[in-house]
């Protein structure tokens, strides 16, 4: 006869188990106390205890809803979250919506949409490096800055317009990616991350201090927007279509490259570098490609950014920006192109929606990153096949 509850625990242990949420809440509010005083700490204690006590039930609810969701998905025959084919009618509506957005909404919405587009290109670029090839790049914003500043300088100093300047922006960023990669790729994992971070910081410091060239922290203003056959893209709705074209182009190219021989080599390197090199992949070469290809998109995004804002300053290219782009890639799911788009959407739109509580948005971003890593490290979209190696 087996007891249904075999582990009879002592009173002390049971008491501890009951009181654990309270102890944790007390501990956290004690830590909070010196920074804001007694009243705030007490409030925090109450809030934390309520959250922690109810979390048991919340998690139960969460599990049930996930099971329910999975069952629904299986019924529909879709293998993963959103990865099944979206019904055609939904797609057509979506397409119409994207094409007609400037006619439906005001300038503010178009502005946000343009920003989303630029970030999608950026995040797709970083996705190549981090998601496909599995190399953590914490200084990605440097290439973005190089692209933006190249266009800004060429335009304001030499009077070159957007289209002739674009190859320079993109080319210079790509070359910078190449140059960084040559020494950096001798390093592994964390070291690579920290060297790329250093590169990003050095770039920002140069932009900030080279007054005669970049005008330092004041930035460069008066950058001309792109023009095609006397049609200026200075107007937001026009710019929206320009960015849209580039987003579609980058989506298409990224998808094709991912499915090509190069893309497969990247994934092989990400999954197991030694095995990949044994299979005859020149790992250094392909890693170089990944860095340069990622930087290429960052350069493009940078030029588009400079053309849109008509102003650049070092403030737009801080480490936080790198982290934000990384978040977009991770949030959606490393290596998943659809996920990257979703990530860019969420992280650009959230701050706009949460304008009232803007002060708290970085706080939430930090906490969100920690929670995401703990509860869903593969990201919202991440497939099962993607492992997070570095």
Partner 1 sequence: MFLQQLVNGLTLGSVYALIALGYSMVYGILELINFAHGEIYMLGAYLGIICLGFFTAIGLTAYNLPLALILTFILSIIVCAAYGFTIEKIAYKPLRNAPRLSPLISAIGMSIFLQNYVMLTQGATDKVFPHFFGAAGVQFLSVRMTYLQIFIIFISIILMIGLRLFIRKTRMGKAMRAVAQDKTMASLVGINIDTVISLTFIIGSGLAAVAGLMVAMYYGLVNYFIGYIAGIKAFTAAVLGGIGSIRGAMFGGILLGLVESLGGSYISSEYKDAYAFILLIIVLIVKPGGLFGKAELEKV
Q: Which of 1, 6, 35, 106 binds partner 1 (CB under 8 A)?
A: 35
**H/E/C letters for each residue in 72-100?**
HHHHHCCCCCCCCCCCHHHHHHHHHHHHH
Burial of 86 (0-12, 13-18, 19+ CB in 10 A): exposed
| Closest by CA position to 218, among listed 298, 295, 302, 156 | 156
Q: Which of 86, 205, 228, 231 binds partner 1 (CB under 8 A)?
A: 205
Residue 34 interacts with partner 1 (CB under 8 A)?
yes
* Structure-token pair, residue 120: 């999608």
Q: Whose Cβ is closer to partner 1: residue 164's or residue 183's?
A: 183
> How far is it, in rounded angstroms, from Cα 375 to Cα 61?
15
Residue 27 interacts with partner 1 (CB under 8 A)?
yes
Residue 217 interacts with partner 1 (CB under 8 A)?
no
Cα-Cα-Cα-Cα dihedral sign, residues 151, 157, 162, 166: negative
Give Cα 76 distance to the centre of its chain.
Answer: 30
Half-sphere exposure of 341 (CA within 13 A, CB side): 12
Pattern 46-85, binding to partner 1, x per CB under 8 A? ----------------------------------------
Min. distance of Cβ 308 from partner 1 in angstroms? 26
Q: Which of 83, 161, 284, 387 binds partner 1 (CB under 8 A)?
A: 387
Interface stretch with partner 1, choices 28-36, 60-68, 301-309, 344-352 (CB under 8 A): 28-36
Pattern 303-342, binding to partner 1, x per CB under 8 A? ----------------xx--x--x---x------------
> How far is it, in rounded angstroms, from Cα 98 to Cα 82?
19
Min. distance of Cβ 34 from partner 1 in angstroms? 5
Cα-Cα-Cα-Cα dihedral sign, residues 222, 228, 230, 232: negative
Residue 363 interacts with partner 1 (CB under 8 A)?
yes
Structure-token match 């990153």, residue found: 369
Helix (H) or strand (E) holding 9: none
Q: Which of residues 174-203 bind partner 1 (CB under 8 A)?
A: 183, 186-187, 189-191, 193-195, 197-199, 201-202
> How far is it, in rounded angstroms, from Cα 88 to Cα 139?
40
Q: Which of residues 113-132 bind partner 1 (CB under 8 A)?
A: none
| Residues forming the site for partner 1 (CB under 8 A) | 27-28, 30-32, 34-36, 40, 136, 183, 186-187, 189-191, 193-195, 197-199, 201-202, 205-206, 209, 274, 319-320, 323, 326, 330, 359-360, 362-363, 365-370, 372-374, 377, 387-390
């Amino acid at each position: 006869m087996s007891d249904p509850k075999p582990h009879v625990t002592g009173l002390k242990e049971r008491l501890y188990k009951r009181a654990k949420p309270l102890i944790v809440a007390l501990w956290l509010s004690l830590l909070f106390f010196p920074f804001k005083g007694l009243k705030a700490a007490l409030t925090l204690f109450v809030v934390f205890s309520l959250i922690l006590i109810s979390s048991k039930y919340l998690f139960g609810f969460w599990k049930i809803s996930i099971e329910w969701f999975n069952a629904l998905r299986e019924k529909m025959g879709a293998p993963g979250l959103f990865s099944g084919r979206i019904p055609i009618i939904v797609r057509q509506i979506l397409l119409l919506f994207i094409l007609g957005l400037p006619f439906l909404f005001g300038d503010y919405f178009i502005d946000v949409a343009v920003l989303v587009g630029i970030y999608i290109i950026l995040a797709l670029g970083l996705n190549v490096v981090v998601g496909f090839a599995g190399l953590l790049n914490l200084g990605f914003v440097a290439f973005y800055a190089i692209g933006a500043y190249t266009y800004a300088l060429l335009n304001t100093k030499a009077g070159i317009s957007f289209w002739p300047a674009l190859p320079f922006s993109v080319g210079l960023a790509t070359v910078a990616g190449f140059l960084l990669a040559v020494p950096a790729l001798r390093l592994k994992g964390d070291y690579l991350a920290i060297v790329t971070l250093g590169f990003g910081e050095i770039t920002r410091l140069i932009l900030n201090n080279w007054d005669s060239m970049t005008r330092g922290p004041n930035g460069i203003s008066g950058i001309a927007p792109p023009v095609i056959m006397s049609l200026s893209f200075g107007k937001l709705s026009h710019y929206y279509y320009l960015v849209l074209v580039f987003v579609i182009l980058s989506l298409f190219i990224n998808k094709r490259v991912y499915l090509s021989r190069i893309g497969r080599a990247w994934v092989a390197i990400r999954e197991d570098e030694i095995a990949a090199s044994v299979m005859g992949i020149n790992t250094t070469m392909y890693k170089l490609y990944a860095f340069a290809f990622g930087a290429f998109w960052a350069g493009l995004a940078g030029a588009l950014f400079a053309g849109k804002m008509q102003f650049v300053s070092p403030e737009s290219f801080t480490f936080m920006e790198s982290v934000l782009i990384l978040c977009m890639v991770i949030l959606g799911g490393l290596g998943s192109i659809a996920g990257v788009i979703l990530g860019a959407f969420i992280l650009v739109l959230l701050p706009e929606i949460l304008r009232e509580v803007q002060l708290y948005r970085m706080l939430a971003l930090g906490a969100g990153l920690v929670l995401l890593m703990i509860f869903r490290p593969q990201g919202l979209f991440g497939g099962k096949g993607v492992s997070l190696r570095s």
